[in-house]
Amino acid sequence: MAKRNDINNCATCIYRSFLFSNLKAEDLSRVNISKKEIAYDPGEIIVQQGEKISSFMYLREGLLKISREIDNQRNQIINIAHPMDFIGLLSVFSEDYYHYSITAIEFSSLCFIDLGLMKDIIRKDGGFALKLLEKMSSMNEMILHNRLLISQKNLRGRIAHILQFFSKEIYHTHEFTLPVTRKEIAELIDMRTENVVRILSEFRRDGIIQIAGKVIQVLDEDNLSRIEEFG
């Protein structure tokens, strides 16, 4: 793990999530004392697949990719995590070792909370446990739902989907800078790099988007939506 700069107090942290707002004052203080805040630059690996799980992680700021190795040199990206996500909620409570890697794809700031402490709080505070169950349930449902959607779409539909994802869910604007390479897009939506490029070019030819390297501008969102839906 990298640079440390514990600057914030959980009680006043503007990033404090809905979940932690349900914590009792005493427990919040325990979290505050134990937590470690770490910042990562794009490309930095936060968790290596196979590593032992010892922390409960909370993404304050930035963007991460959660991925896993399939064979020698092929990767599969499971999810892109936004702020307020409890990353690794995927399996913190079921597995001893991470089944996936976590990498920063933008400048990111994470809080690490000792897993033992979290479990202790859960055991003592059933109300908090229920909130956590709900959060976990909805995160898992979302990721699975996404996978099920993608597997039904053709390649154009998938590209449209991922463009809408970045435009609407991540950056909330029509013009944005892709935080991932073409290859990573391919790994995220089950296709080949060449076809990502090809279809992006096609969309540009058709006046649906504008491309300047990693900067994308959505010009015809209606059309993009139609392609996403029917593709």
Partner DNA sequence: CGCGGCTTTGATGTTCATCAAGTAAAGTGG
Partner DNA sequence: CCACTTTACTTGATGAACATCAAAGCCGCG
Binding mask 151-180 for DNA (x = CB under 7 A): ---xxx------------------------
Q: List, in sequence order, every residue forming a beta bridge with 42; answer none if it has no partner.
A: none
Query: Between 12 and 94, whose beta carbon lies closer to a second copy?
Result: 94
Strand 55-61 relative to strand 209-212: parallel, antiparallel, unpaired? unpaired
CA distance 164 to 167: 5
Nearer to DNA, 53 or 186 (CB): 186
* Sheet strands (E) in 156-225: 175-177, 209-212, 215-218
Q: What minimum distance in Å lies between the beta carbon of 7 and a second copy?
A: 30
Which residues contribute to the site for a second copy (CB under 8 A)? 68, 70, 76, 78, 89-95, 99, 119, 122-127, 129-130, 132-138, 140-141, 143-145, 147-148, 151-152, 190
The C-alpha atoms of residue 54 and residue 56 are separated, in whole angstroms, by: 7
Give the whole-angstrom CA distance, residue 59 versus residue 82: 7
| Residue (of 101, 25, 102, 39) closest to 70 by Cα position | 101
Q: Closest distance between a second copy and the C-beta of residue 103, in Å?
A: 17
Nearer to a second copy, 49 or 210 (CB): 49
CB-nearer residue toward a second copy: 123 or 214: 123
Q: Which does 192 bind (CB under 5 to 8 A by kind): DNA, a second copy, none?
A: DNA
Return the one option of a second copy, DNA, none that residue 145 interacts with (CB less than 5 to 8 A, by type): a second copy
Of 146, 193, 223, 225, the one binding DNA by CB under 7 A: 193
Tokens representing residue 204 in the block: 């540009």
Report the C-alpha gap between 186 and 194 in whole angstroms.
9
Nearer to DNA by Cβ, of 43 and 126: the residue is 43
Least distance to a second copy, CB of residue 178, Å: 22
Question: Contacts with DNA: how many residues (CB under 7 A)?
Answer: 19
Query: Which has the closest alpha carbon to 59: 79, 39, 43?
Result: 39
Question: Does residue 3 interact with DNA by CB under 7 A?
Answer: no
Which amino acid is it at 115? L
76 binds DNA, rule: CB under 7 A: no
Q: Who contacts 102 (Cβ-Cβ below 8 Å, separation ≥6)?
A: 45, 46, 47, 57, 64, 65, 66, 67, 81, 87, 88
Determine, following the binding rule CB under 7 A, whether residue 181 of this chain makes contact with DNA.
yes
**Binding-site ranges for DNA (CB under 7 A):** 154-156, 181-183, 190-195, 197-198, 200-201, 211, 213-214
